[in-house]
Amino acid sequence: MLRPRLPAAAAPLAPARPAISGHGGAIVAGEAGDIHQHHHYGAAAAPEPTRWPVRVGLVPPAADCFQERGVIRDLDLAFDPPGTAVPCEVLTGMGGVGKTQLAARHARNALLGQKIDLLVWVTASSRQAVIDAYAEAAEKVMRPKGDNPARAAEDFLIWLEPRPASPAAQVRWLVVLDNIMAPADLTGLWPPESPCGRTVATTRSRDAALSRADRRMVTVGLFTPDEATAYLTSSLAARGRTEPAEEVAGLAADLGLLPLALSQTAAYLVDAGISCAGYRERLADRARRLDELRPATLPDDQTASVAAAWSLSLDRADAQEPAGLARPLLQLAAMLDSNGIPVPVLTGPHALGHLTRAAADLWQGRKVTPEKAVAALRVLHRLNLVDHDVEAVPGSVYVHQVVQRAVRDTVGGPEQDALARTAANALTAAWPEVERDTGLAQALRANALALARTAGDALHHPGVHALLYRFGRSLGVAGRADAAVDHFQQLADSARRHLGPDHPDTLATRHDLAYWRGAAGDAAGAVAAFETLLAERLRVLGPDHPHTLTTRGNLAYWQGGAGDVANATAALKQLLDDRTRVLGPDHLDTLATRHNIARLRARDGDTAGAAAELEELLADRLRVLGPDHPDTLATRHDLACWRGAVGGTTGAAAAGAELEELLADRLRVLGPDHPDTLATRHHRARLRGESADVVGAVADFEALLRDVTRVLGPDHPQTTDVRDTLAYWQQDEEPVTRKIMPRRTRARADPETGA
């Protein structure tokens, strides 16, 4: 543990500290308090005593408007009693976070605070650079001046080792190894553990070999929002500029709180004479490259622009095994969400195909496997180009947004369009048919949205990509019907503009728009939209096309939802005949039509007849689809609800038992947060109350209200229904048997894709 020591005399800095001379070897004290050494380089005239403190290497100048950060405080406190230091601290982080500046500030603080006698600053970009710096340090403190730098470096490391001597003979030292490119370069060259010395290293690497019991790895992150805005504000103010606080904060967020980007942007704002708002507009322009937004002269003696800051690291990553995969993998990740990409998206068949094509020359026809893709991902992680969270399920990859922008800038327009479609294919393939994991579904939606923003028009021609449909339907399934409406409205407008009004994809987007308009509560608007769409599909596709039949089914569905039960029932019966003729009796759409006819029959008051029809339908769906298909589970749900509605208290109890079994199956198949699972819990709780278990019903509804509020939000219709039903059962009155309205069943599990 280091403790600060003052020089032997009371002079301000170290001139009165015992002078040291010699060429290596044992240290002995002279009569005058100077320290001399016996060396192994042969007899020579006694050199002048070393005057302390000694500095070796050039410490980078302080950055303008430097922001004090927690890392600096922790490093500086390590010198103070009782001390918290380990012998070596390795500052790791992505390029541009300010690791070198933090180490430089720490070194200057140590010198100014008279806490060290020797500072050795090493630009450790190669093994030879480290050896040469050590040799220079040996010359300054040991005076060997030989022609063998490796031997001199070895002697210097020996000289740094602790030795039994008087306290006055102990030199307090700090060695900074800045910008270690390859950890293997430091093999045999790490300074020794000593109570008199410390080592601070900076690197973009986070190889496990860098961390040991005597070396602590410290991750240097981005600025905090407050630090970023404070830096931008003070940097602009130093140049006579002021900007609205909200624009400064917005620009800091747009730049991802990255110190390097913030410093170069502040200089660019002044050089170009534009405002923060103007810069944000340029930054958002997909056609502009980052290099177009850099100042003519980089600030703070920087040598690399933001766009070039990671090129060397990416070159190194691409050269490591598995060779040739890191760059195309990062290019794919650059198209997606910086806040978390599920690993299966980057290791699925479409991603592997992309990697195989990109590395075709190196791999000589061999296919890239998922294991190799993960290995390339770990290379990017070790070099701080991405963060790969292996503990997340199914795993997540994080890429800084400025890194993504810089990587995209290296990919040409047509190549970037192809990359966007590859990323869209990868996302679509990774999307589960049943969104059981709400966290995964949220991540996939976030990635789809990010890709839609970076891809431009690439996902809209030669047709609307399936991902855009999948994204909108996922919004609706998650209970965000209004957001689904907004998405499909924009998609329909885009399709009409790019593809024309009669293109199948344009009609498909209008279909989904109409459907989710009804799901959002506008049944009448859905009916009107489907009526118009049906006329156009009859004209373009003909009466027997599956998409035309689906439009008829959804039109009848929303007619029933709008209260026109008689016409809806008649339309569905005619549709059943046509679907049976065109698709066959066991087609999913034919079975769905039978389900909706039964639903309308129950809504018209004939719950017993509806239950009988559902019993027949359940047998067919079990035979055709199996017990775990969502449509089979939906049939079981409605059948139990309608049986409970006609069976009085006894029937309610029996139906409640059926829903209990169904709930276990839906939890297993769909997960706890799926809207269908929540609906089953809702009806189970209602049946519990109607079977005279009011206390149990209230407890169930209280738990359900917490979950639907979390999953669907406080204003969702299902949340409102749960809240109202809970209030009903909480009343201080005897419960009465009520008719239970089953959940409204969709015409099919999902609207058609139009593909």
pLDDT tens per residue, range 190-243: 999 888 889 999 999 999 989 888 888 999 999 999 999 999 999 999 989 999
Cβ proximity of 187 and 150 under 8 Å:
no
Distance separating alpha carbons of residues 611 and 33, to the nearest angstrom: 105
pLDDT band at 747 (very low <50, low <70, confident <90, very high): very low
20 pLDDT exceeds 80? no
pLDDT digits (tens, 9 = 90+) for 69-106: 888 888 887 766 544 456 889 999 999 999 999 999 99
669 or 39, which is more confident: 669
Least confident of 147-161, 596-610, 711-725: 711-725
- Alpha-carbon Rg for the chain, nearest whole angstrom, is 35
Q: Of all residues in the chain, what percent carry a pLDDT higher than 70?
A: 88
pLDDT digits (tens, 9 = 90+) for 307-331: 888 888 899 999 999 999 999 999 9
pLDDT band at 25 (very low <50, low <70, confident <90, very high): very low
24 pLDDT exceeds 50? no
Q: Of all residues in the chain, what percent carry a pLDDT higher than 90?
A: 63
Give CA angle at 680 (675, 684), nearest 5°.
150
Distance separating alpha carbons of residues 262 and 67, to the nearest angstrom: 12
pLDDT digits (tens, 9 = 90+) for 604-631: 889 889 999 999 999 999 999 999 999 9
Distance separating alpha carbons of residues 745 and 641, to the nearest angstrom: 12
Distance separating alpha carbons of residues 476 and 473, to the nearest angstrom: 5
Least confident of 15-29, 512-526, 643-657: 15-29
pLDDT digits (tens, 9 = 90+) for 337-379: 999 999 999 999 999 999 999 999 899 889 999 999 999 999 9
What is the CATH number that goes with domain 27-219? 3.40.50.300
140 or 333, which is more confident: 333
Distance separating alpha carbons of residues 648 and 646, to the nearest angstrom: 6
Closest to 406 in 3D by CA, of 733, 95, 175? 95
12 or 630, which is more confident: 630
As given in the structure block, the two tokens for residue 577 are: 């005949």
pLDDT digits (tens, 9 = 90+) for 242-279: 999 999 999 999 999 999 999 999 999 999 999 999 99
Give CA angle at 312 (310, 316), nearest 5°.
115
Distance separating alpha carbons of residues 448 and 424, to the nearest angstrom: 7
pLDDT digits (tens, 9 = 90+) for 699-727: 999 999 999 998 888 888 788 889 999 99
Least confident of 141-145, 488-492, 615-619, 633-637: 141-145
Exposed/middle/buried for residue 329 (C-beta within 10 Å: 0-12, 13-18, 19+): buried
Average pLDDT, the chain: 86
pLDDT band at 746 (very low <50, low <70, confident <90, very high): very low
139 pLDDT exceeds 60? yes
Distance separating alpha carbons of residues 347 and 356, to the nearest angstrom: 12
Distances from the Cα of 47 to the Cαs of 36, 38, 140, 601, in angstroms? Answer: 10, 12, 11, 107
Distances from the Cα of 225 to the Cαs of 233, 242, 251, 487, in angstroms? Answer: 12, 18, 11, 31
**Which residues have C-beta within 8 Å of that of residue 107, sequence separation ≥ 6?**
59, 119, 121, 174, 176, 200
